[in-house]
Amino acid sequence: EAQVTQNPRYLITVTGKKLTVTCSQNMNHEYMSWYRQDPGLGLRQIYYSMNVEVTDKGDVPEGYKVSRKEKRNFPLILESPSPNQTSLYFCASSLSRFGEQPQHFGDGTRLSIL
């Protein structure tokens, strides 16, 4: 089944403890992206990747890192998480990096930073 898989789905952790949220897609998609969603707000883009080894900042990149060493994986790294990064996170992928194909979203990861 074609899908975008995020892990973990839920995580409660403490301030300063490094964590990684994984994202994997099995559709050979070029483009991948991370979003966060806070209560009452739409999705805000954190980082995106146009292809392997090509990443760039979205609208809210502070406090996050990403890497794209393989086409299928696009992990989101929080080196020193803080409570303001408590949020619902979504990973998305798209067949083309040129914007003419839709994004497919994962089921989300709910992070709580205490």
Partner 1 sequence: DAKTTQPPSMDCAEGRAANLPCNHSTISGNEYVYWYRQIHSQGPQYIIHGLKNNETNEMASLIITEDRKSSTLILPHATLRDTAVYYCIVRVAGTNAGKSTFGDGTTLTVKP
Contacts to partner 1 by CB under 8 A: 4, 31, 33, 35, 37, 41-45, 48, 50, 56, 58-59, 88, 90, 92, 97-100, 102-108, 110
CB of 64 to partner 1, least distance (A): 16
Least distance from C-beta 60 to partner 1, angstroms?
11
The pair of three-digit structure tokens given for residue 30, joined into one six-digit string: 């070029």
Taken as a whole, the chain contains a residue count of 114
Q: Residue 14 or residue 107: which is nearer to partner 1 going by CB?
A: 107
Shorter beta-carbon distance to partner 1: residue 51 or 80: 51
Read off φ and ψ for residue 16, nearest 5 degrees.
90, -10
The Cα–Cα gap between 105 and 114 comes to 27
- The Cα 85–Cα 73 span in angstroms is 22
